[in-house]
């Protein structure tokens, strides 16, 4: 196994989880190194995601740290190895690293739940709608930059199709349906696409209307809740003006799960949501 100066999100997450196990065991990195028979610098590099480890080494570390959660250990072991190239790596030269990290995270997801207020979720966007959004980015993107981002976004959507599609739930505020990005034709086509996607077995779309929905939970922050193989490996991705932000702190995961639950209690049912989107489409 080798070292890397630019670890991926998955490599950093594996290292962070191993650090949590060590700290829960009450071991310093120096003490852990002694127990493992390696130099302290090696432990630090592993925990920073900069040194790739194998599944057997992860199991040894977990046993040294007295972790009795077999499901978690198995999940961590599955995250091992060097960087395996995916289609997203082709974009690392052209897009910020967080774009590739997000695509890899979605590719490995067991389930994804998203909450959106102003925008249609990226995985449910049409090409024209996505292009219209990207043309509004500040500072303005050059034409080729728009096309790079557009191609990347469309490829991300592949996880919703195929023999083993990822279960995907989107809770969308009515405001996102009424934004007129790209003009009337683009809006109508996007809404029709939402209706079609809502018919897929693995896709659930629920709408929170302006009226009759009661209070609106949360701050309006758009986010994706990505379920890992075990709850401890869940991740939240936050949309920010300067790019993607990822958080996996336990308190943050609990908070965003609570927001999703409250939004679910406020949103229309699946059938009501589909009818609602039909009504909005007819009004465009």
Structural domains of the chain ordered from first start: 9-78 (1.10.260.40), 87-283 (3.30.870)
Measured distance CA(46)–CA(239) in Å, rounded: 29
Q: Is the pLDDT of residue 278 over 70?
A: yes
Measured distance CA(230)–CA(145) in Å, rounded: 36
Question: What pLDDT shows up at residue 206?
Answer: 97
pLDDT (mean) for 231-238: 97
Q: What is the pLDDT of residues 29-61, one digit of tens each?
A: 999 999 999 999 999 999 999 998 999 999 999
Alpha helices in the chain (DSSP H): 9-24, 29-36, 40-47, 55-64, 70-78, 97-107, 127-134, 143-156, 174-178, 184-198, 250-266, 270-283
Q: What is the DSSP letter of 18?
A: H
Question: What pLDDT shows up at residue 220?
Answer: 83
pLDDT band at residue 219 under the 50/70/90 scheme: confident
Tokens of 147: 């096309």
Q: What is the pLDDT of residues 160-170, one digit of tens each?
A: 999 999 999 99
Q: Is the pLDDT of residue 243 over 90?
A: no
Read off the pTM.
0.92
Tokens 């995985």 appear where? 123
């Amino acid at each position: 196994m080798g070292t890397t100066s630019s670890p991926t999100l998955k490599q950093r997450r594996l290292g962070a989880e191993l650090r949590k196990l060590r700290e829960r065991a009450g071991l310093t990195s120096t003490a852990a190194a002694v127990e493992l028979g390696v130099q302290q610098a090696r432990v630090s590099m592993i925990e920073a995601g900069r040194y790739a480890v194998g599944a057997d080494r992860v199991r040894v570390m977990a046993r040294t740290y007295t972790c009795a959660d077999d499901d978690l250990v198995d999940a961590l072991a599955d995250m091992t190895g060097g960087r395996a190239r995916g289609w997203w790596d082709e974009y690392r030269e052209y897009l910020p690293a967080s774009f590739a990290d997000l695509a890899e995270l979605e590719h490995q997801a067991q389930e994804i739940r998203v909450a959106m207020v102003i925008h249609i979720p990226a995985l449910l966007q049409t090409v024209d709608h996505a292009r219209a959004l990207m043309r509004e980015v500040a500072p303005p993107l050059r034409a080729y930059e728009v096309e790079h981002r557009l191609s990347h976004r469309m490829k991300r959507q592949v996880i919703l199709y195929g023999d083993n599609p990822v279960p995907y739930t989107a809770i969308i505020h009515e405001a996102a349906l009424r934004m007129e990005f790209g003009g009337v034709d683009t809006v109508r086509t996007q809404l029709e696409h939402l209706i079609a996607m809502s018919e897929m077995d693995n896709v659930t779309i629920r709408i929170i209307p302006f009226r009759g929905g009661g209070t609106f939970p949360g701050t309006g922050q758009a986010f994706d809740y990505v379920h890992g193989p075990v709850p401890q490996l869940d991740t939240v991705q936050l949309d920010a003006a300067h790019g993607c932000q990822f958080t996996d702190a336990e308190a943050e995961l609990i908070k965003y799960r609570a927001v999703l639950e409250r939004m679910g209690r406020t949103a229309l049912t699946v059938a009501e949501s589909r009818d609602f989107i039909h009504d909005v489409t007819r009004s465009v």
